[in-house]
Amino acid sequence: MESFLIKGGVPLRGTVEISGSKNAALPIMAAALLTDEPCVIRRVPDLSDTRFMVQILQSLGAEVTFENGTVTVHAKKVRGYADYELVRKMRGSICIAGPLLARLRKARISLPGGCIIGARPINLHLKGFEALGAKIKIEGGYVDATAKKLSGSSLFLGGRAGPTVLGTANVMMAATLAAGVTVIESAACEPEVVDLADFLTAMGAKISGAGSPTITITGVKKLHGAEHEVIPDRIEAATFLIAAAATNGEVVLRGARADHLRAVIDKLDEAGVSVTRRGKNLVARRGGKLKPVDITTLPYAGFPTDVQAQMMALLALVPGISIITERIFESRFMHVSELARLGADIEIEGPSAIVKGGRPLSGAPVMASDLRASAALVIAGLAAKGATQVNRIYHLDRGYERMDEKLRKLGARIERVEEK
């Protein structure tokens, strides 16, 4: 098992290329199942999750190639059964259910896996499928969805923690080939949902309202092949913005979109971090003395839960008290105990973390519990004095493309080693 060995204390300086969005690429790759014609998807990040999705699509009968950031999918014939051994590794694999149900009128999917960050049920996905006319059966760890016919419907997809991103994507894909009009209320507004809608539209789907709480889909009889370029990864971009601030460096982010990062940039500005535009790029550096801030994670366009851990690592360095409240996932503070091993002073009170910042961090062996926790520990290690070893980086490899290589180009002393 591999880990990162980081010798901290070096300011990050230089330019980093932001990869395509994993959270956009996965459902877009799944959407290629909706047609028997070839689809070409560009700017797909080379990650363990996207590689898993390639294997899942191939197991369903699709011809798939993945070279130099371009995925080509030709699902001329597909089967409606997804194998447990592949699906269990990645929660995003559930997004194949909507396309299979739309095209074959049946789908048998293993209940998915992924990071352990709290309950993430798929009940809203199934609710949406039922609204379109599907019958759902859960047995033996599998979901069976069948329908003689899919018909448009009005449905509400709001959940306990707000709209469901993958649920919105799944229902939207299923509705593209349903008869009549489907209206999704309390739809997720994330840029990744908009990117999927753009791809589906290029395939011939009729979709309006993507990016708003109400999405309308008018079903068509058939979709065709299309080409598409995935949007840049806003979470990777946010991670590098924060890493630049934590190390007192200056980093140029090539390809990052400020319009997808408004809540993050606003909080960084409040904390004293300067994020400016330079042409089509973003530049991050400390604007002066850093200040504590309070953050509450919310559905888009609020502060993203996927950036909460990284901000905690930064705020641990900032003198004063910051409060981070997690409103999306109830178990997303597992990185707190590991940050404490590096010297951070953080207390958990219910859904909030009280960060008593300003104590110097010192290197130590730490263990990643999930994808974004991994990124937080890397940021803390980059800022800490001495050596930090971040173990179990397979979590990080799920969502960050060649992170160690990118950081080395910015001057970081980081290498990939075997865990001891």
Q: Do 236 and 355 fall within a single domain?
A: yes
252 pLDDT higher than 80: yes
Residue 337 C-beta-side C-alpha neighbours within 13 Å: 6
Lowest mean pLDDT among 73-77, 219-223, 286-290, 399-403: 286-290
Q: Do 91 and 148 fall within a single domain?
A: yes
Share of the chain above pLDDT 70, in %: 97
Q: How far apart are CA 29 and CA 50, in angstroms?
A: 9
With a CB cutoff of 8 Å and minimum separation 6, the contacts of 199 are: 28, 31, 41, 226, 228
60 pLDDT higher than 70: yes
Q: Do 26 and 14 fall within a single domain?
A: no
Q: Please give the positions annotated as active site.
A: 115
Question: Which of 140-144, 159-163, 280-284 reaches the highest mean pLDDT?
Answer: 280-284
Q: Domain boundary at 203, 229, 255, which?
A: 229
Q: What's the pLDDT tens digit per position in 266-310?
A: 999 999 999 999 998 999 999 889 999 999 999 999 999 999 999
Q: Do 243 and 365 fall within a single domain?
A: yes
Q: Do 67 and 173 fall within a single domain?
A: yes
Q: Do 136 and 280 fall within a single domain?
A: no
Altogether, the residues listed in the chain come to a count of 420
| Mean pLDDT score, 167-176 | 97
116 pLDDT higher than 70: no
| Domain limits for position 168 | 22-229
Query: What local confidence, expressed as pLDDT, does residue 119 receive?
Result: 42
Total structural domains within the chain: 2
Query: What local confidence, expressed as pLDDT, does residue 113 receive?
Result: 52
Q: Do 257 and 326 fall within a single domain?
A: yes
| Mean pLDDT score, 209-221 | 98
Q: Do 114 and 128 fall within a single domain?
A: yes
Q: Do 50 and 69 fall within a single domain?
A: yes
Q: Domain boundary at 229, 247, 274, which?
A: 229
Q: Do 102 and 193 fall within a single domain?
A: yes
Q: Domain boundary at 229, 254, 280, which?
A: 229
Q: Do 13 and 26 fall within a single domain?
A: no
118 pLDDT higher than 70: no
Query: What local confidence, expressed as pLDDT, does residue 117 receive?
Result: 36
Cα-only R_g, the chain? 21
241 pLDDT higher than 90: yes
344 pLDDT higher than 70: yes
Q: Do 184 and 255 fall within a single domain?
A: no
| Mean pLDDT score, 241-268 | 98
230 pLDDT higher than 70: yes
CATH code where residue 298 lies? 3.65.10.10
Residue with the bigger pLDDT between 89 and 133: it is: 133
